[in-house]
Chain A
Amino acid sequence: MTELVNRKTVAGTGVPGPKRLTIRHLPLRRSFNVLGLLAVAVGLALWQILAVQADNFLFPSLSAVVEAFWDSLRDGSLLEALQITLLKGLVGLLLGVAAALVLGRVMATSTVLTASLAPLISGVFPIPRLAMYPLMVVALGAGGQAAIALVAIEAFFPMLYSVQLGASSVTQRYRWLMSNVGASFGQREALVLRAMTPSVVAGLRNAVPTVLVVVVVTELVMGGSGTGFLVRDAGSQFEPARALAVVVALGIVGVMLNVLVKKLFERTQPWSLSLQS
């Protein structure tokens, strides 16, 4: 109890000051998690022992997966697949974010527009847009385009929500200030963009994991190439070790992307100390 209060106090004391806060001041970097490391070691050891005991090719041991990982890394198939998956994700994400930025900025210029469209944006949240994928394949072909379009749509809605939220943080006082100092159109838009950046990056924190999921699903469904295809291929050839190797690679990439976006968030919003999760 006391400890919990203390931790919150440390985080809560970060009133905006002249001092630029760095990551060392954030409550994120806590003491090294020895217990967690131990738990991972135990988990991996158990996996190895149980798999060797079972001696069933359907349940590959840790060493077999590591071997498969190494093999697919050396023959280049894993990296190639990751490249394909990430490229589709990136292009789709950029398209979605760009569209959201433009529409979100336009929406924020009018309260009527915001009041009319904002409920629709949050309204589509529970709709599984993934179901449109086969239709997009019909429209755009089984290549990467359909996947990219789907990623763009999937990224667009949460980003639009964040952009619109960020744009609404640009208050009347900012606008008065801008006209007071005689800012040009370009300077105004640059300032608005800077003010919106934290919420845009916050939106990215939600969008990026989703993007990865969507690309993998499309590759699972349509096959062809990419990590999703690789897992499916290995699964259908009853090579679970090879499939698991790809899954592990995807996990590592996912963690790296999360860390990347988190860092971006901290850079763009150094004053925000009360980060969750």
Chain B
Amino acid sequence: MSDSVLRWTRPLAALVVIFGLWQLAGRVWTFPGYLFTPGEIARAWFASLDPETGSAVLATTLRAVAGFLIATAVALPVATVAALVRPVERILEPYIGFFFALPKISLLPLLVVWLGYSDSARITMIAVSAFFPIFVYMFAGVRGINPGYLKVASNVGASRRERFLHVVLPAVAPMAMAGVRIGVAISLIVTFAAEVVGQSPNGLGRLIQDGFSALDYDQMYAGIVMFALIGLGLDMLLRLMTRRSPGLWGEGVPA
């Protein structure tokens, strides 16, 4: 009991101490205009809570989620097939190797040339970037299935359907989820870049960039905080989804 309490209170206390020291430093020294104290950040954030910011948050979230969903929908099945069918793996190997190492964001100016300053260019960029980590994790997950599990399944005479739904899927779930979490984080990073470089008419990237042009620090800080909140919120959502099966995380994730 006290252990689980400590698990929460210690980081919380550390957070309070860090922010407290930061705040205190702002009192002692005069910070330059662009460096806010936690209090000033909170005030700027509260002041920004209006429909306009709301629509920016919505636009950014939708973009990130759309790109991320496309990436997931393509990566999971393709990675599964590649992990199970050797020739497919062999064919994809050089392509995956190259594009995994390539900073995909450098394709953005080209996408803009081809698709214009449009959401199709921006969302394609997000999807392409999020695809690779999800693919790599899913591939490793399917490859890493304990062969003993499959032996047990054939011993008990499991049907194809039972084998897939009851053995393969749960065995892969932890790794797939790890990849998906990274995919979400990448999606958000790329969303910011795509909104700024891709000349988005709306979204948090636009908001922050406008704040930058007008040297409106309040707006910049509010945008950054909102971005952080979206990231934390989406991640928490994913983790809640996986919390449902307690046995899932005991084994199965290769260290």
Contact = CB atoms under 8 A, between A and B. Distances in A.
Contacts of A254: 101-103
Nearest to B86: A3
A190 interface: no
B46 interface: no
A118 B11 CA distance: 8
From A1, A117, A126, A217, residue with most partner B Cβ within 10 Å: A126
A214 B170 CA distance: 35
Nearest to B188: A128
Given A112-B10, A135-B224, A127 B94 contact: no
Interface string A31-68: 00101110110010000000000000011000000000
Interface string A225-265: 00110011011101010011011001100110110000000
Interface residues of A, number: 62
Given A115-B10, A128-B189, A240-B113, A231 B106 contact: yes
From B14, B102, B184, residue with most partner A Cβ within 10 Å: B102
Given A139-B32, A231-B110, A246-B106, A126 B234 contact: yes
A247 B102 contact: yes
A213 B184 CA distance: 16
Contacts of A138: 34, 212, 215, 217, 220
Contacts of B227: 127-128, 131
A221 interface: yes
A161 to B, nearest CB: 13
Contacts of A172: none
A115 B147 CA distance: 36
A8 B212 contact: no
A15 interface: no
Contacts of B150: 1
Interface residues of B, number: 70
Contacts of A123: 11, 232
Interface string B208-241: 1101100101001101100110011011000000
B21 interface: no
A35 B220 CA distance: 50
A43 B98 CA distance: 13
A65 B79 CA distance: 30
Contacts of A116: 10-11, 13-14
B228 A247 contact: no
A132 B103 CA distance: 20
A266 to B, nearest CB: 17
A254 B104 CA distance: 11
B20 to A, nearest CB: 14
A4 interface: yes
Contacts of B69: none
Interface stretch (B50-58, B155-163, B191-199, B244-252): B191-199
Chain A interface main SS type: helix
Contacts of B231: 126-128
B28 interface: no
B181 A126 contact: yes
A131 B109 contact: no
A178 interface: no
A246 B103 CA distance: 11
B192 A128 contact: yes
Interface string B33-47: 011000000000000
Given A120-B11, A127-B228, A221-B193, A277 B98 contact: no
Contacts of A119: 7, 10-11
B99 interface: yes
A257 B98 CA distance: 12
B62 interface: no
A84 interface: no
Interface of A: 1, 4-5, 8, 33, 35-37, 39-40, 43, 58-59, 112, 115-120, 123, 125-128, 130-132, 134-135, 137-139, 209, 212-213, 216-217, 220-221, 227-228, 231-232, 234-236, 238, 240, 243-244, 246-247, 250-251, 254-255, 257-258, 274, 276-277
24 contacts: A5-B147, A117-B14, A119-B10, A125-B185, A126-B235, A127-B227, A128-B185, A128-B188, A130-B192, A131-B204, A131-B208, A135-B220, A139-B35, A209-B101, A216-B106, A220-B105, A220-B109, A221-B193, A231-B106, A240-B113, A243-B109, A251-B102, A255-B97, A255-B101
Given A39-B95, A123-B11, A258-B100, 14 more contacts: A8-B147, A40-B94, A58-B114, A119-B10, A120-B14, A125-B185, A126-B184, A128-B192, A134-B208, A134-B220, A137-B212, A276-B144, A277-B136, A277-B139
The 5 A-B pairs with the shortest beta carbon distances in the complex, nearest first, are A235-B109, A254-B101, A126-B235, A134-B212, A251-B102
